[in-house]
Structures are given as structure tokens and as C-alpha cells.
Structure 1
Amino acid sequence: MFILPDLPYAYDALEPTVSAKTFTFHHDKHHKAYVDVTNTLVAELGLEGKTMEEVTLFAAGDKSKKKLFNNAAQSWNHAFFWDAMIPSYAAPEGELKAAIDAAFGDIAACKEKFVAEGVGHFGSGWVWLAAKKDGSLVITSTHDGENLLDQPDLTPLLVCDLWEHAYYLDHQNNRKGFLEAWFDTVANWSLAASQLSAAKGAGAVWAYPAPQ
């Protein structure tokens, strides 16, 4: 059975960018519902013991398993999203900063492209900063519950949630303002650096907690 991971910080730790009220609904209700449905479907299909990554990829390859995919992928996306934020913001440095500069020019240009990708994404989904196997960086977005697990050439470094429930209580319909504040105040560049190293073969990539 998959668990609902605890937030890696207090509910109010990311205010005002993300409020405790938003986390109460987003983590405790939305994310929990995805995990609960995933567990129910996993049991029905005899998939106990598989990782969340394995369940998601299994469902992604079978159109008849759309409900399982939506819930497993959203379980994974949200858990990664919580870890992609941090209360004690620190700017990227070292190898990660060099990769950002090489891909975008500088961190300001990276932010501009990240925000533009998120603002320009129609409907619900996710905006990602990802690394290719050669360490070069790209920014992309996915719809609804889709993620990058089925794209083996890409390793996610960071992700921001574009579903309205992620920001509406705090920023109303100002998705751009939310993305700008998110990038400037809570993006976890330490996680991004670790993921970049993993993409290049040094260390393990982030994974959802193993089933219990």
C-alpha cells in the first residue's frame, strides 16, 4: 500500500507564496484522494508490491487503465512537487548554475522561460525543468496528470503545479504571479542539483516512497 507522504516542512512554511490553507486542501485532500484511489485500483489489479513509478508506467501503456494512470501519476507528481519546494531558498550554484547559464543565458532568463511556459499552458497540468542525459536543460509542460516518467531521455529537476487548486486560494487567477513568486522564493535548487547529477549517472533519481 502506498502512503501519503508528509509535507517536508510545516504547513505555513512557504507563506505567502503557498499558504497553510492551500496545503490543507491540496495535500490533505487532493493528494490523499489520488493515493487512496491508486491503492484501491492496485489491489483490484493485483499490482501490490510495484513501485509508484512502475504502476504509473504500466497504466500509461494501456488506455483501458486511464483511471489508474491519472491517480498514480498525480500521486507521483504531487509528492515530487512537495519536495521541489523549500522554505530556505538558496540560488542555484556550481554545476547546476553552469547548466542553467548554458541552456538559458542566466537564471533570470530561465525564470522568464519557465514562467512563460506555465502561463502559456492551456488548462491543467505541470511545468517542468528537466535535464537530458548529456546534462543540458529544457523546460516543458505536460497536461493533466502526465509527467516525464515515460520519457527516459528526460530527468525532472523541478516541477510546479498548474492546476488552479495549487494557487487559487492565494493568487486567485494570477497564474503568472504565482509562478514568478514560486520560482523566486520556494524553488528547491538543492533537489534540482541532485537530480541533475543523477541524470548524468551520479546517484539515484528521486523516487516515490516504496509501498508498505
Structure 2
Amino acid sequence: MTFQLPQLPYEQDALEPHISKETLGFHHGKHHNAYVTNLNGLVEGTEFEGQSLEAIMQATAGKADKAGVFNNAAQIWNHTFYWHSMSPNGGGQPTGALADKIKADFGSFDAFVEEFKKAGATQFGSGWAWLVLNKDGKLEVTKTLNAECPLTDGKTPLLTMDVWEHAYYLDFQNRRPDYIATFLSSLVNWQFAAANYSAATAKAAE
């Protein structure tokens, strides 16, 4: 079994004018695809061949001699999750159980927004901002460097925002805060986050 580049959940121009077709073409078709090609080459003939991305990530996280395998596997996972974290009709606020949980754990939706913006803006260099469900059942905003993913720390990702420069530079140049604000106001897919939260709470209740 070899890894394949997953299709975007929308057309390449579907996020315009916020994220351009050109950005998605490079980001998905070049960057994401390169991680797929690299990982297939790295795992061929090794103990990781035929394993899932999640299994590879868990087995290689924090191991310097397996950094190449981890970085490419995690970047495939992170990017696939990121595409679904956005929607052509995104933005606004969550509803239902996730909205209630955000209010309970952050104090208000606005407080969550400020924390998420801060995580994205203060991630030095390349990385990701996340909304996760901790093992203790509380929501948390966190950030990770480069290819790192909260999944390998036992946290359940609900939503992510890519803050590598290639995610926004063609559209926003060096204005990362503007990209972050646009992500939250016009792109974020709360239905995806809510579905992830529902699945995580159902699993915890088993």
C-alpha cells in the first residue's frame, strides 16, 4: 500500500477571495504532494510499510533518527486535516454542544478567538495552531512547531490552522495576523470541528 495525495474537499477556487486558487494549487498540489512522495520513498521496505499515518506518527515522534519519516507522515496528516478545517461557507460561530463546551472552557467564544489568534500569531517560524480536546476532557488552544501534531501527545485535534508561510504568503504576504483573522471570520469549518468533538466524546463514553 502506498500513500496517495487526498483530494481537496472543494474545488481549488472555492475559498476565493480569501485563499486563492493559486495558493491552493501550490499548497496542495506541490507541498502536500511532496510529503506523500517523500514518505512513500522513506517507508518502502521498512517496518513502516503498510502502516497507517497515525501509527507511523506515534512510532516515530520524538525520535531523531526517524525525523524524516515523522515529518513527512505528520505533514500529510496535518494538511489533510487542515483542508477539512476550512469551508467555502466557513466562519461564524459554532452551535450546539461544541459551542457550549467552548463557552464553558474558555469563558466565551470571543475569549477562544483571542487565544486562537494569539497561538497562530506567536508561533515562531513554521507551524500550526490547534483547537484540541485534552485527555482530561477540556478544550485547549495549542500550537506546534513544523510538523508536530497534538495527536502524538494524546490530545484529540478538532480544528487546525496552518501558519507555514506557504499557506498564506501569495495572498497575504507577511500579514499573518490578517490571514488568521480571515481564517476565523470566513473560512473555519465549525461543522467539521463539531463532528470531531462529537466523535471524541462518544468514544470517551464507551
- For residues 111-156 of structure 1, the C-alpha deviation after alignment (integer angstroms, 9 at most, x for no partner) is 111011111111100000111245421100000000012111x211
Task: Please name the residue that 1:94 is paired with.
Answer: 96
- What does 1:1-212 align with in structure 2 at a 5 Å threshold? 1-89=2-90, 91-152=93-154, 154-202=155-203
The residue type paired with residue 140 of structure 2 is V
2:47 and 2:15 map into 1 onto residues whose CA distance is: 39
Contact 1:99 1:135 in 2 (8 A): no
2:197 and 2:150 map into 1 onto residues whose CA distance is: 14
Which secondary structure does the structure 1 equivalent of 2:184 belong to? helix
Q: TM-score, normalised to structure 2's length?
A: 0.93
Worse-matched range after superposition: 186-195 or 103-112:
103-112
Which secondary structure does the structure 1 equivalent of 2:202 belong to? coil
Between Structure 1 and Structure 2, the one with more helix by share is 2
How far did 1:61 drift? 4.8
- For residues 85-121 of structure 1, the C-alpha deviation after alignment (integer angstroms, 9 at most, x for no partner) is 1112253101000011112222222111101111111
1:5 and 1:13 map into 2 onto residues whose CA distance is: 17
Which secondary structure does the structure 2 equivalent of 1:10 belong to? coil
Task: Please name the residue that 1:208 is paired with.
Answer: none
- For residues 50-83 of structure 1, the C-alpha deviation after alignment (integer angstroms, 9 at most, x for no partner) is 1011111122153211111111111110011001
- For residues 160-197 of structure 1, the C-alpha deviation after alignment (integer angstroms, 9 at most, x for no partner) is 00100000000010100100100111111111111112
The residue type paired with residue 53 of structure 1 is E
User: Which runs of no fewer than 5 residues in structure 1 stay unpaired?
Assistant: 204-212
2:28 and 2:82 map into 1 onto residues whose CA distance is: 10
Contact 1:133 1:199 in 2 (8 A): no
- How many aligned residue pairs are there? 202
2:48 and 2:135 map into 1 onto residues whose CA distance is: 30
1:46 and 1:162 map into 2 onto residues whose CA distance is: 32
Which secondary structure does the structure 2 equivalent of 1:160 belong to? strand
How far did 1:44 drift? 3.5
Q: TM-score, normalised to structure 1's length?
A: 0.91
- For residues 15-58 of structure 1, the C-alpha deviation after alignment (integer angstroms, 9 at most, x for no partner) is 12211000000000000000110011111424222101111112
User: What root-mean-square deviation, in Å, do the aligned CA atoms of Structure 1 and Structure 2 show?
Assistant: 1.4
RCO higher in structure (CA 8 A, sep ≥6):
1
Contact 1:133 1:200 in 2 (8 A): no
